[in-house]
Amino acid sequence: MSQTATLDRAGTSNEAPAIVLDKVNKWYGTMHVLRDVTMTVGQKERVVVCGPSGSGKSTMIRCINRLETHQEGHIIVDGTELTDDLRALDTIRREVGMVFQSFNLFPHLTILENCTLAPIWVRKTPKAEAEEIAMEYLRKVKIPEQAKKYPGQLSGGQQQRVAIARALCMKPKIMLFDEPTSALDPEMIKEVLDTMIGLAETGMTMVCVTHEMGFARQVADRVVFMDRGEIVESGPPTKMFEDPQTDRLKLFLSQILRGH
């Protein structure tokens, strides 16, 4: 585990790290899905998590906003530790946006309502102001003209961009992406990745589970490779892709490249 590599960003800045995972363990029944996962994500750092399916990467990212609970170890997000305390959880979820593989837009609400729901009900933003913010983000993801439509009327790529806008409307400090392009047709992947690259350029702290190695190369400060529930290797993308240290990463990269 490259402790030095994880500390380069968090360590050089004086701010507290955005996310700290410290020896996190999780079991589904007897299956050990997260093994001593330790990782620090610095403020404004962009981390791409990759690994074969079933390696625990989705579980790990879902633990960060407690969609899954961990059984051992500590997770500290934005200075607050995740425990059974619901108030702490609410605080963290307000500051952490999440984008899912299957978009999970609310099909019974319009695009605009999808984006204003949480600001109005959670942040208590006045409706007019929430709509203004929502339109601003819909413009940023380049679909303001769809605001009055329902999710079912949009293409997959458009839905995922709305999902990103919806998360951003809460003005989160951290954004989590759980395989955001895996459910998309190839021609729609680019529009979503472009949106994510744009977001990365704004200095958002991002943790992104993805197989898009081009995206990782372009925006990631660090790539974390997971396999069988543990972090095997991590480092800057160029080093990881061009000079992998472990056999498991070498195997994974060869499989990914063969697939492309």
Partner 1 sequence: MSATTTTHIPAATRERPPSGLVGPVAWMRANLFGSWISSAVSLVLLYVILRAGWSLLDWGVIHAVWTVPQGANGADTTACRDAIGTGACWALVPEKYRFILFGFYPFAQQWRPAIVIVLFLAMFAISANRRFWRIELLYAWLVALVAIGVLMWGGILGMPYVAQDQWGGLPITLILATFGLAFAFPLAILVALGRRSTGMPAVKLICVVYVELIRGVPLISLLFMASVLFPLFLPEGIDIDKLLRAQVAIILFAAAYLAEVVRAGLQALPKGQGEAADALGLSYGKKTLLIVLPQALKLVIPPLVNTFIGFFKDTSLVLIIGIFDLLKSGLTAVADPNWQSFGTEVYILLAVIYFAFCFAMSKYSRGLERSLDRGHRR
Kindly list the residues in this chain that would bind partner 1 in the complex (CB under 8 A): 65, 67, 90, 93-94, 96-98, 100, 102, 104-109, 117-118, 121-122, 150-153, 166-167, 170
Residue type, 99: V
Give the CB-side neighbour count of residue 105, counting CA atoms within 13 A.
29
24, β-bridge pairs: 37
Closest distance between partner 1 and the C-beta of residue 117, in Å? Answer: 7
- Closer residue to partner 1 in complex, CB, 6/65: 65
In whole angstroms, the minimum distance from the beta carbon of 171 to partner 1 comes to 12
User: Within 10 A of 111 (CB to CB), how many other CB atoms are there?
Assistant: 28
Among residues 90 and 129, whose Cβ is nearest to partner 1?
90
- The C-alpha R_g of the chain, in whole angstroms, comes to 18
User: H or E element: which one contains 14?
Assistant: none
Which residues is 174 bridged to in the sheet? 96, 205
Q: Considering the complex, what minimum distance in angstroms separates the CB of residue 69 from partner 1? A: 12
Q: Which is nearer to partner 1, 9 or 166 (CB)?
A: 166
Output the six-digit token pair for 124.
């208590």
Residue 9 or 93: the one with the smaller Cβ distance to partner 1 is 93
Nearer to partner 1 (CB atom), residue 27 or residue 241? 27
Burial 183-194 (b: 16+ CB within 10 A, else e): ebeeebbebbbe
Minimal distance, residue 98 CB to partner 1, in Å: 4
Which two three-digit tokens encode residue 219? 């925006």
Our CB check for partner 1 shows the closer of 152 and 259 to be 152
Cβ at position 95, least distance to partner 1 in Å:
9
Cβ at position 142, least distance to partner 1 in Å? 21
Residue with tokens 């620090």: 40
Angle at 77 between CA 73 and CA 82, to 5 degrees: 50
DSSP one-letter code for 82: -
> From the CB of 89, what's the least distance to partner 1, in Å?
9
- Angstrom distance (rounded) from CA 129 to CA 115: 12
DSSP β-ladder status, 174-178 and 96-99: parallel
Q: How far is CA 184 from CA 62, 111, 192, 219, in A?
A: 20, 19, 9, 20
Output 27 or 150, the one with its CB closest to partner 1.
150
